Amino acid sequence: MGNRSISEYNIPIPGIISRNNIHLFGAQDCVPRRGTVDKRYHKYKRRSHVMAKINYIGCTILLLLISLCATGQRHLSEDRQALIKTYRKDIGITEATNNNDGSRVAYFQQMAGLDTTTHPPYCAAFVYSSHIEAGIDIDYPLPAWSPTWAENGEVIFEKGRGYKTVLPGDVATIYSSQKGRASHTFFIDGEGKEFFITVQANIRSPTSGKEGVWRRKIKKKLIHRITRHIE
């Protein structure tokens, strides 16, 4: 072969574009015609702008739908809102001597027609007086008796089985096998996966030891029945 250089044999060398190997490497494709880059850039820019608008509109619609669903789930009647406000303001009320007594406790008892001098239990009286104070007419013959709240109204939850969505202001009862009836009643104030958040009267605070009105979690399996007395 002598001393001829490699270039004399027209052998394309990777990475080198010459007059002999430019076509072999497709270098013509790497050197766009005048204006091609600008056209491709503007086309890409327009496409990106359109996609951004579509994404924005899609996200806006999605958020609107989520908002509407959440609003629908959280919409409560004026009566129910008034009831919730009424019973929540009593959270933290305590008895005078842990003997079903005290001025606010006596108010619950009197509203339900109980004799305060005998210091009767007042869980059902609290439920009843909260309705009355909120301007909701409840005409039950024995409003201070827990079974009244289990046997009246619309049943929406029973023994771990739900019939409708439980709302704050619905009334729950616990069943006593010893007494053969509902023995305790209270308000539902919220819901978790396996429990309800409640507002109960005539119970002891686990921290202070004082009897009164407290917010407390309770497992769903312990609930006997939940009834609805207002829309």
CATH code: domain of residue 218: 3.90.1720
Tens of pLDDT along 111-155? 999 999 999 999 999 999 999 999 999 999 999 999 999 999 999
Number of domains in the chain: 2
Q: Which of 15, 40, 74 is the last residue of a domain?
A: 74
User: Does 6 fall in a domain?
Assistant: no
Q: Which of 74, 107, 140 is the last residue of a domain?
A: 74
C-beta atoms surrounding 169 within 10 Å: 27
Sequence-ordered list of residues with C-beta below 8 angstroms from that of 164, at least 6 positions apart, any chain:
154, 156, 157, 228
Which residue stretches of the chain have pLDDT < 70?
1-74
Query: What span, in angstroms and rounded, lies between the C-alpha atoms of 196 and 187?
Result: 10
Beta strands of 112-210 (E only): which ranges? 154-158, 161-162, 171-176, 181-191, 195-204
Residues 53 and 98 in one domain: no
Instruction: Report which of 179, 206, 62, 170 is spatially closest to residue 121, judged by C-alpha positions.
Output: 179
Among all chains, which residue has been given the structure tokens 């005048």? 34
Q: Look at residue 52 in the predicted model and tell me its pLDDT.
A: 63
CA dihedral 131, 136, 140, 146 (to 10 degrees): -20
With a threshold of 0.75, does the pTM exceed it? Answer: no
Query: What span, in angstroms and rounded, lies between the C-alpha atoms of 168 and 174?
Result: 17
Residues 63 and 87 in one domain: no
User: Does 4 fall in a domain?
Assistant: no
Range of the domain at 222: 78-228
Which residues share a beta bridge with 182? 175
Length of the chain: 231
Q: Look at residue 133 in the predicted model and tell me its pLDDT.
A: 97
Residue pair 166/158 in contact (Cβ under 8 Å)? The answer is no
